[in-house]
Amino acid sequence: MEAIENSRLNKFHYTLLVILGTVWAFIAVNTISAGFVIALLKNDPAFQGSLTKLGSLGSAALFGMLFGAWLFGYLADRIGRKKTLTLAVATFSLASTVSSFAGNLDALIILRFIVGLGLGGSLPVASSYFAEFMPKSVRGAMISVLESFWAIGTVIIGVVAILVKADWRGILLFGGAVILILPLLLTLPESPRYLLIRGRVKEAEETIRKALGVSVKLEAPKGERKASVGDLWRRYGKTTLMLTIAWFSIAFAYYGFFIWLPRFLSATLGITVFRSFQYFIITAIAQLPGYWSAAYLLERIGRKKTLSYYLLLSGIAGVGFYFAANSGNETAIVASAVAFSFFNLGAWGAIYAYTPELYPTAIRGTGTGWAGAMARIGGGLAPIVAGKIMEVSGVALAVLVIAIVSIIGAIDVLALGEETMGKELA
């Protein structure tokens, strides 16, 4: 759609960024909160469990995100981006509120799974929806800026954890506050690209006129048909394989590291869990320049190079943490954690910009939903695997495994990825 591809950023684009950015920040709040909750449950006798079972609590939302990404990604191509996103946000906000009243560990795990359904649906749908309104000249950078709200949410939940005096119920209750954004979501228009492939030409024209201030005449595309997950492999096999490995790797590295980071820091630095929250905030702040630098490079050296280089460098930082933890060097431990945070979150900004550009509109929701689901498999396994490794061999080896997986993701993108910088969305 030429009117969108060649448009300039205006008030609507920035309004969309703020609304979806707020949603994105609360997705981070609800995801990262698991790390704080796990660290605090040891003080509550009704919620005791092994490191492996506590890792399952961290994984519960992530496995929910697996099914949520499939379900809501499918719905986004059937009932629309806006309706699907609103439903997904309502799901995780209400479930987070209810989870704050859980009476035992098993109930909390189940409720966190339901939170994950909404989180998993919100991420791919929001990124696809946002991408479909962005001009091609700044699409990659703007999606990376949207992703940077994750770092803002990460900092916020760290501050909230301190302000509520490390009360895990208060942390989860705060996660439900995103329900206040639902009225603003409902004011947003449906994606004109989605409307057009559904034959709703007049609505698409009116949306472009109101949002971009441009009057256009459109025609419904011929030969469009409903896409399925099978099409991802039959028609876009190489791309889907690359994204499957890349999303699994980046999520395994991220969730394996950050769900356990308060414990990693308290164990290697010999500090209290509460004190580790303060170090956590330092690593979270490092995420913002990671996103911003990736946003700059996406429009300079391209999506493929930015993503692969940042995955590689985050893996190298993880290897650095391994050696620092073994030596007990506090400065090196904190520095390597900050570096991991910088590069891993920069890679997230890149992969969210890259993925929607690799599929055409008719299958974009399904494609990004599949990619998100692969991330949830990786992210769901990581806390359990890391917890098991720590029980057997300690923190350092757990981080080394995380680092190796990140490096595998970098090699995958370099070998199988194709560049999309400057290309119009199909």
Percentage of the chain lying above the pLDDT 90 cut: 43
The pLDDT of residue 35 is above 80? no
Cα–Cα dist 240/251, whole Å: 16
Digit-coded pLDDT (tens) for 220-243: 666 555 566 777 888 889 999 999
**Torsional class of 213: left (φ above 0), alpha (ψ -120 to 50), beta (otherwise):** left
DSSP state string for 118-132? HHHHHHHHHHHHHHT
Between CA 44 and CA 54 the distance in angstroms is 13
Instruction: Write the pLDDT tens digit of every residue in 196-224.
Output: 888 888 998 899 888 888 888 887 666 55
Least confident of 43-52, 75-84, 410-419: 43-52
- Alpha-carbon gap, residue 305 to 326, rounded angstroms: 32
The average pLDDT across 40-56 equals: 69
Domains in the chain: boundaries: 2-416
Residue 40 pLDDT > 90: no
Amino acid at 403: A
Highest mean pLDDT among 73-82, 150-159, 409-418: 409-418
pLDDT value of position 212: 84
Question: Which DSSP state fits 259?
Answer: S
The percent of residues in the chain predicted with pLDDT above 70, rounded, is: 94
* Distances from the Cα of 18 to the Cα of 5, 48, 408, angstroms: 21, 40, 34
List, for residues 91-147, the tens digit of each pLDDT value. 999 999 999 999 888 889 999 999 999 998 898 889 889 988 988 888 888 988 898
| Cβ neighbour number for residue 163 with a 10 Å cutoff | 12
Q: Angle of helix 395-416 relative to helix 237-258, nearest 10 degrees? A: 160
Least confident of 237-241, 268-272, 278-282: 268-272
The larger pLDDT score, comparing residue 394 to residue 254, is at: 254
Q: Per 3-state DSSP, what percentage of the chain is helix, strand, and coil (rounded to 5)?
A: 80, 0, 20
Rounded-to-integer distance, Cα 33 and Cα 112, Å: 11
Contacts of 15 (CB under 8 A, 6+ apart): none
Give the three-class secondary structure for 49: coil
pLDDT of residue 171: 92
Which residues fall within 8 angstroms of residue 307, CB to CB, at 6 or more apart? Answer: 246, 347, 350, 351, 354, 413, 417
How confident is the model over 333-362, as a mean pLDDT? 91
First to last CA, the chain: 8
Give the tens place of pLDDT for each residue, 142-182. Answer: 988 898 898 899 889 988 888 887 688 999 999 999 999 99
pLDDT, residue 50, reads: 62
| Residue 83 buriedness (CB in 10 A; 0-12 / 13-18 / 19+) | middle
Between 25 and 223, name the one with better pLDDT: 25
Closest C-alpha to 399, from 331, 323, 334 = 323
pLDDT band at residue 51, thresholds of 50, 70 and 90? low
Residues 278 and 261: beta-carbon distance below 8 Å: no
Q: Is the pLDDT of residue 341 over 60?
A: yes
| pLDDT higher than threshold 70 for residue 190 | yes
Q: What is the pLDDT of residue 14?
A: 94
Strand segments (E) across 194-302? none
**Higher pLDDT residue, 409 or 362?**
409
* Mean pLDDT of the chain, nearest integer: 87
Closest to 349 in 3D by CA, of 405, 287, 411: 287
420: three-class secondary structure by DSSP: coil
Under the banding of pLDDT at 50, 70 and 90, the label for residue 49 is low
Q: What pLDDT is stored for residue 238 in this prediction?
A: 93
> Based on C-alpha coordinates, what's the Rg of the chain?
21
> Residue 11: what pLDDT?
92
Whose structure tokens read 């993880």? Answer: 318
CA 227 from chain centre, in angstroms, equals 24
Which tokens is 403 given? 């680092």
Is the CATH code 1.20.1250.20 the one for domain 2-416?
A: yes
Mean local confidence (pLDDT), 296-311: 95
Please compute the mean of the pLDDT values over residues 13-26 and round it to a whole number: 95
User: DSSP letters along 314-364, please?
Assistant: HHHHHHHHHHHHHHT-HHHHHHHHHHHHHHHHHHHHHHHHHGGGGS-HHHH
Of the pLDDT bands very low, low, confident and very high (cuts 50, 70, 90), residue 52 is low
Contact 273, 263 (CB under 8 A): yes
pLDDT at 264 over 90: no
For residue 43, the model assigns a pLDDT of 67
Position 223 scores a pLDDT of 55
Quick one: average pLDDT of 22-39? Answer: 88
What pLDDT was estimated at residue 354? 92
Provide the phi-psi class of 328: left if phi over 0, else alpha when psi is between -120 and 50, else beta: left
